Structure 1
Amino acid sequence: MSGLVDAAAAMMRMSSQRIDNAALNVANVSTPGYKRQVRSSAAANELFDATLARMRVDLRDGKLTETSRPFDLAISGDGFFALRAGERIVYSRQGAFTLDRDGHLASPQGYILQQRGGGDLTIDARAATVSADGTVLDGTRPIGRVAVVRARGADDLVAIDGGVFAIAEEAAETIDTPLVRAGALEASNVSLGDEMVGMMGAMRSAETGARLIQVYDELLGKAITAFGQAAR
């Protein structure tokens, strides 16, 4: 009977995790470049071992939206922008950059866009443009190139949150011919309909788990009553 309680508790834990994930995704439905987070399982039967559930990031492209702002950048297809966050390099497809006082392109979090080959990308001309291969032009003069990087393998990409990732230095590969869209942003790939369906399924699973525990409690009570009567 204890296995029944364990299974019910696992169902309720998994349901709680999935509801939390859905809430996080819905909260970021308008965040450019956000990637939907889901729970997956390494086991065929996650019912009895919720600890095997793992976070997975849905890397499908979001829809591109034109903004006409020259330093809003979006990547079509594979790749991430390399960004300096303090002393470390992180990776993201959130391309809403603004030119700061030092001539750096900064993300909304304050992360600094990196140039191909390493180092902060510095722009000394506010009229600069970004071409499709990531080259930054002052008129016709190249003054830098945006670094676009991918992970060597799926396991080399580690989610910090839904829009920012870490890649080990030895597993980061520079894309030679990226496709960068200036004046556009990639939208979140969250579908509100999918999240609502998933949340309702998780709530039904939680209700089933709670019902199993209630049935166990009722059976245990009956068994105690029966033993007590037999002992008289």
Structure 2
Amino acid sequence: MMRSLYSAISGLKNHQTMMDVIGNNIANVNTTGFKKSRVTFATALSQSLKGASAPDTASPALFGGTNPMQVGLGATLGSIDQIMTSGSAQTTGNPTDMMINGDNGFFVLNNAGQTVYSRAGAFTLDGNGNLVDPASGALVQGQAFSDDTTPASWTAPVTTSNVVIKIGDTAYGNTGSDGTLASYSIDQSGVITGVYTDSTTGVSTTHKIAQIAVANFSNASGLENLGGSFYRETNNSGTATVGAAGTNGTGTITTGSVEMSNVDLSQEMTSMIVAQRGFQANSRVITVSDSLLQELIDLKRQ
């Protein structure tokens, strides 16, 4: 009976954790770039009452083999896994909003000197023209173009810098430009092309400004969630492979859209029912075990 009590307690704790994860998923159902998590349970170590025995090898055999006798001691928390599948696209029309198509790829940002990764591409420009995450001010990373013919170099080790798009300024990192930056566009490989207009002649020319950096990991589920829609490398995520969008197995970039959460509310509500019933069943085991213990105590009174 004492074993049943502690087994049921382990079940209660696990289902509480399951509810915590489900609650976090539902809370972030509208969080840009959020990746849901799931809980898996595992059996605890069993107590062996009797070991297995081998069958008689004589011919004819006098007895057969017997299986081990074991009593389970409850359940343990197996894992809490991040499900890194892509969410649906939400069109915003904002030219600095971006999403990575497919399951693979992360934007690279510099957050107060720390390199972090994110799927949330709701970016904006700050007062200096830096492309940033508006919530934290983290700087989006990429590579500036020195001219229009030399492509960005993504040969390891990759060196990235802040992406700057400064309207009204001369071309950033582009010595051959003329005029001032009037507008820009971002293609599916993350190349930012600016339109520069000469105020004297009115002639407009285009020049490449920079290219957005996209990172990929051999095990994206192994990334550590830092909050703020940011992740960082861990020992089990693998080292980031940084390059252009559409390379190294990463998806291409769509502008004017952001990636929504991959949380499925119908699935989460169903999981909530399962967690609730599992919690109730384990609670009932505790109640029945308590009743049996009470019967033992009452024997003294009879």
Deviation string, structure 1 residues 43-91 (Cα, Å, up to 9, x no partner): 35698243x3322111111111221110010000210001112121111
Structure 1 residue 156: Cα displacement: 4.5
Residue 180 in structure 1 maps to residue 253 in structure 2: yes
- Cα offsets for 1:174-224 (capped at 9, x unmatched): 244420011011111111111111111111111111111111110000011
- Structure 2 counterpart of 1:123: 165
Alignment match, 1:74: 99
Q: What is the CA–CA distance in structure 1 between the aligned matches of 2:4 and 2:96, rounded to whole Å?
A: 57
Distance in 1 between residues matched to 2:78 and 2:31, nearest whole Å? 26
Alignment correspondent of 2:116: 90
1:137 corresponds to = 193
Unaligned ranges ≥5, structure 2? 46-72, 144-158, 168-181, 196-205, 247-251
Find the partner of 1:108 among 134, 137, 148.
134
Larger radius of gyration: 2
Q: How far, CA to CA, are the matches of 1:165 and 1:3 in structure 2? A: 41
Name which of structure 1's ranges 166-175 and 220-229 shifts more when overlaid on structure 2: 166-175
> Residue type matched to 1:55 in 2?
I
> Could you tell me which amino acid in structure 2 is paired with residue 91 of structure 1?
Y
Deviation at 1:30, TM superposition (A): 1.0
TM-score normalised by the chain length of structure 1: 0.89
Number of residues of Structure 1 aligned to a counterpart in Structure 2 = 227
Residue 198 and residue 156 in structure 1: after superposition, are their counterparts in 2 closer, same or farther (change >3 A)? closer
Question: For residues 155 and 94 of structure 1, do their structure 2 counterparts lie closer, same or farther at Cα, with a shift above 3 Å needed?
Answer: closer
- Aligned partners of 1:114 and 1:146 also within 8 Å: yes
Q: Cα distance 1:64–1:204, how it changes in 2: closer, same or farther (>3 A)?
A: same
CA separation of 1:222 and 1:44: change in aligned 2, threshold 3 A: closer
Are residues 1:53 and 2:119 paired? no
Alignment match, 1:153: 219
- Which runs of 5 or more residues in structure 1 are unaligned? none
Q: 1:197 aligns with which of 264, 270, 283?
A: 270
User: Percent identity of the aligned residues?
Assistant: 29
SS of 1:128 mapped into structure 2: strand
Structure-1 separation of matches of 2:267 and 2:187 = 35
CA distance in 2, matches of 1:141, 1:175: 21
Q: 1:4 to 1:159 in 2, by over 3 A?
A: same
Retained in 2: the 8 A contact 1:33–1:93? yes
Partners of 2:98 and 2:240 lie apart in 1 by: 20
What do the CA deviations read for 1:130-186 (whole angstroms, capped 9, x no partner)?
A: 110011111331111111101133464223348321125970112444200110111
Q: When the two structures are superposed, what TM-score results if normalisation uses the length of structure 2?
A: 0.69
Q: Which protein is richer in helix relative to its size?
A: 1
SS in 2 for 1:70: coil
Amino acid at match of 2:92: T
Q: Distance in 1 between matches of 2:268 and 2:217?
A: 27
1:25 counterpart residue number: 25
Instruction: Please list every run of at least 4 consecutive aligned residues from structure 1 whose deviation after the TM superposition is greater than 6 angstroms.
Output: none
* Structure with bigger RCO (C-alpha 8 Å, 6+ apart): 1
User: In 1, distance between residues paired with 2:110 and 2:217?
Assistant: 17
Aligned partner of 1:7: which letter? S
- Look up the SS of the partner of 1:114 in the other structure: strand
Q: Aligned-pair distance for 1:11?
A: 1.2
